[in-house]
């Protein structure tokens, strides 16, 4: 019974992760790409908590999830700062406009 429950959550997390990955690859708005990365990281959190339910006896999965949340916040801060710098110089949030560096 419980194994099945965990499976559903892992399936959901995989779907969210894939949505994030596809969104990152398909969309060209950098803000949406940042959101897609957050989606992928949160899918991972869901899977971590679900798996910890399956592997009881320690709290490794929960602890891991907390660290992922903290790191995701730091990553978002740096990402938005870089996006801001890019927008000021290029007046665009489209990643296709990042095309000056070519051989």
Partner 1 sequence: MTFWFGLSPILVVGLGTLLLMLAEAFGKSPNSANPSDAGSGRSGELALGAAVVLLVGAAFSIGVWMVGPENLEGLEATRPYLVMDRFTVFFCFVLSLGGAFAALLAGGYLPEHDIDRSEFFPLLLLSTVGAMTLVAAGDMLSLFVALETMSLGVYCMVGLRRSPRAAEAALKYFLLGSFAAALLLFGAVLLYGATAHTDLVGIGQAIKTIGQPGSTVPVAPVLLGLTLTLVGLTFKISAVPFHMWTPDAYEGAPTPATSFMAVAVKAAAFAILLRVLVVAFGDDRLTSWGTGWPPALATLALLSMTVANVVAGRQSSVKRMLAYSSIAHAGYALVGVVATMRSADGQASVLFYLLTYTVSTVGAFGALIYCGSRGAEATSYEDLAGIAKRHPAAALAFSLFLLSLAGLPPTAGFFGKLYVFRAAFDAELYVLAVVGLLNSLVGAYYYLRVMVFMYMREPAPGAQPAVPMKSAFVSSALVLAAVLVFALGIAPGWSLDMAGAAKIVVSAK
> How many angstroms separate the CA atoms of 35 and 30, rounded?
9
In contact, 44 and 13? CB cutoff 8 Å: yes
Minimal distance, residue 31 CB to partner 1, in Å: 11
Distances (CA, A) of 99 to 36, 83, 96, 103: 22, 15, 7, 11
Choice from 1, 17, 22, 31 touching partner 1 (CB under 8 A):
17
Q: What is the contact surface with partner 1 in residues (CB under 8 A)?
A: 10, 17, 20-21, 24, 30, 33, 37, 40-41, 43-44, 47-48, 51, 54-55, 60-61, 63-64, 67-68, 71, 74-75, 78-79, 81-83, 85-86, 89-90, 95, 98-101, 103
């Amino acid at each position: 019974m419980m194994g099945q429950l965990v499976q559903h959550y892992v399936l959901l997390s995989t779907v969210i992760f894939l949505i994030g990955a596809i969104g990152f690859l398909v969309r060209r708005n950098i803000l949406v790409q940042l959101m897609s990365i957050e989606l992928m990281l949160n899918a991972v959190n869901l899977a971590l908590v679900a798996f910890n339910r399956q592997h009881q006896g320690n709290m490794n999965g929960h602890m891991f999830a907390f660290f992922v949340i903290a790191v995701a916040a730091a990553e978002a801060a740096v990402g938005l700062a870089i996006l801001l710098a890019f927008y000021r110089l290029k007046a665009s949030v489209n990643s296709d406009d990042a095309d000056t560096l070519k051989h």
